[in-house]
């Protein structure tokens, strides 16, 4: 086609177009510099850094407890998994255990975060491909999850739910039944959306064979999470390196075949359904009577005291003040890397101990940042409209990309 044009003696020119940081479909402040030949993408360079807040540097000056609210603002669509991931890493570094109830509550919080994050992805993916109504259906459902987070933690968006050795608060009694009702209602919403999209001719044509990345390339570029699994690589940290007792739960890892946008869509939809199954299994193990924090004297140094005692007795008040202001001390020259399966992929925490309660170095391996590396590979040779579909299907959160 191009050579024909050249044979006619016509001058063709490539166009460089700047997509973002202010563009309705770049999911925040992502900037992609595209070189176009007509509507075909010749080269794409993602530019990041428009939302850099230096969270990692700040974390070198804050006690570990004080870092937790900053993790809310990384992947702000699934704050619970960020908080809990950081707590897990710190607990492993200092060798701190948690109670069974706390473990179950954390699993539930992580999976609810996954479902709500994927619901938002579904909404924006559909919106970017032009199906505006799906957006509202998914958001209506997601709103119920935010209401639930509000009941669980007191906050809707930036939960700060994790505490080293536990969680910020107990569930009020009967909440586990409400959680169960909530997740049982979600498949109906997903089914409705699937009816509108999954076998829709336009949806298939817009997504199939668009933004393709092979399994090898995806592994080589470090992709993780649903984006990796859509390329046919069966890799889920919940199965590979189980944490929070995920090995006890029965769930499947949905895997795609082609590594295109359509497979990423199917994988995430199935993941939501699997998460619902995990929540259901976890809630069976929930026992209201177990305290959130261990109650024996030996562990009292690290854990929060029961809240009602804090409000009534002097000792516990002092104790809580100390735990909250002086986080547990990190062992000097010891380091740890712990990764969890966040909704977006492998969310890793690298902590280097300093001997004080402030970490010497705290690095976050954020999945969105690494997944974004795959974008130029995926969209090369595709059309301009495919760039939108691919970015949407990658599900990057810019707060996490830049940190």
Partner 1 sequence: MADIILFSAIKIVVVLAVVMGGVAYTTLAERKVSAWLQDRLGPNRVGPFGLLQPIADGIKFFTKEDITPGRSYKPSYFLAPMATLIPALITFAVIPFGESVSLSGKDHRLLIAEGTGLGLVYLLAVSSLGVYGILLAGLSSNNKYSLLGALRSVNQVVSYEVALGLGLIPLAMTAGGFDIDAIVRAQKGGVWFVVPHFIAFIILLVALFAETNRLPFDLPEGESELVGGYHTEYSGMRFAMFFMGEYANMITASALLVLLFFGGWHLPFLNYGWFGPVLGGILSAIVFACKTAFFVFFFIWVRWTLPRFRYDQVMHMMWIRILPLGLAYILVTALFLYLRGPIK
Binding residues vs partner 1 (CB under 8 A):
15, 17, 23-25, 39, 126-133, 135-137, 140, 196-197, 200, 202-203, 205-206, 383-386, 388
| Distance in Å, CB of 39 to partner 1, minimum | 6
Cβ(213)–Cβ(378) under 8 Å? yes
| Distance in Å, CB of 261 to partner 1, minimum | 12
Distances 394 to 118, 147, 264, 364, 389 between C-alpha atoms, Å: 11, 27, 8, 19, 9
Based on CB atoms, which residue is closest to partner 1, 19 or 339? 19
For the beta sheet containing 40-47, the strands, ordered from the edge strand earlier in sequence to the opposite edge, are 15-19, 31-37, 40-47
Based on CB atoms, which residue is closest to partner 1, 351 or 388? 388
Q: Give the Cβ contact number of residue 53 at 10 Å.
A: 13
| Distance in Å, CB of 308 to partner 1, minimum | 41
| Distance in Å, CB of 130 to partner 1, minimum | 3
Q: How far apart are alpha carbons 101 and 288 in whole angstroms?
A: 8
Based on CB atoms, which residue is closest to partner 1, 46 or 328? 46
| Distance in Å, CB of 137 to partner 1, minimum | 7
Cβ(166)–Cβ(98) under 8 Å? yes
Based on CB atoms, which residue is closest to partner 1, 49 or 132? 132
Based on CB atoms, which residue is closest to partner 1, 132 or 187? 132
Based on CB atoms, which residue is closest to partner 1, 22 or 356? 22
Q: How far apart are alpha carbons 357 and 326 in whole angstroms?
A: 7
| Distance in Å, CB of 5 to partner 1, minimum | 15
| Distance in Å, CB of 184 to partner 1, minimum | 20
Q: How far apart are alpha carbons 95 and 243 in whole angstroms?
A: 14
Q: How far apart are alpha carbons 296 and 317 in whole angstroms?
A: 17
Q: Which two tokens stand for residue 260?
A: 């295109």
Q: How far apart are alpha carbons 150 and 145 in whole angstroms?
A: 9
Q: How far apart are alpha carbons 392 and 389 in whole angstroms?
A: 5
Based on CB atoms, which residue is closest to partner 1, 377 or 383? 383
């Amino acid at each position: 086609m191009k050579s024909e044009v050249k044979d006619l003696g016509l001058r063709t020119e490539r166009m460089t177009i700047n997509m973002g940081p202010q563009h309705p479909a770049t999911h925040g402040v992502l900037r992609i510099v595209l070189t176009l030949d007509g509507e075909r993408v010749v080269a794409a360079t993602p530019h990041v850094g428009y939302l850099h807040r230096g969270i990692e540097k700040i974390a070198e000056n804050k006690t570990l407890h004080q870092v937790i609210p900053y993790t809310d603002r990384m992947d702000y669509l699934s704050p619970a998994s960020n908080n809990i991931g950081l707590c897990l890493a710190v607990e492993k570094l200092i060798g701190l255990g948690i109670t069974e109830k706390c473990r179950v509550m954390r699993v539930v919080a992580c999976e609810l975060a996954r479902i709500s994050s994927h619901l938002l992805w579904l909404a924006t993916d559909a919106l970017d491909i032009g199906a505006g109504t799906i957006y509202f259906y998914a958001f209506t459902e997601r709103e119920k999850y935010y209401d639930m987070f509000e009941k669980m933690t007191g906050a809707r968006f930036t939960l700060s739910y994790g505490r080293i050795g536990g969680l910020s608060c107990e569930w009020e009694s009967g909440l586990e039944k409400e959680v169960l009702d909530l997740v049982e209602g979600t498949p109906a919403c997903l089914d409705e959306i699937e009816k509108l999209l999954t076998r829709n001719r336009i949806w298939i044509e817009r997504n199939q064979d668009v933004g393709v990345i092979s399994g090898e390339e995806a592994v080589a570029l470090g992709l993780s999470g649903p984006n990796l699994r859509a390329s046919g690589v069966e890799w889920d940290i919940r199965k590979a390196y189980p944490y929070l007792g995920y090995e006890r739960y029965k769930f499947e890892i949905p895997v795609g075949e082609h590594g295109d946008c359509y497979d990423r869509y199917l994988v995430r939809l199935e993941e939501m359904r699997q998460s619902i199954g995990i929540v259901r299994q976890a809630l069976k193990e929930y026992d209201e009577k177990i305290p959130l924090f261990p109650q024996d004297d030996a562990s009292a140094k690290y854990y929060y005291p029961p809240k009602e005692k804090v409000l009534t007795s002097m000792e516990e008040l002092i104790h809580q003040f100390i735990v909250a202001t002086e986080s547990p001390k990190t062992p000097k020259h010891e380091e740890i890397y712990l990764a969890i399966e966040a909704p977006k992929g492998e969310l890793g925490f690298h902590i280097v101990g300093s001997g004080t309660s402030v970490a010497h170095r705290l690095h976050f391996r954020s999945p969105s940042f690494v997944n974004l590396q795959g974008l130029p590979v995926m969209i090369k040779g595709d059309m301009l409209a495919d760039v939108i579909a691919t970015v949407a299907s990658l599900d990057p959160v810019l707060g996490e990309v830049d940190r």
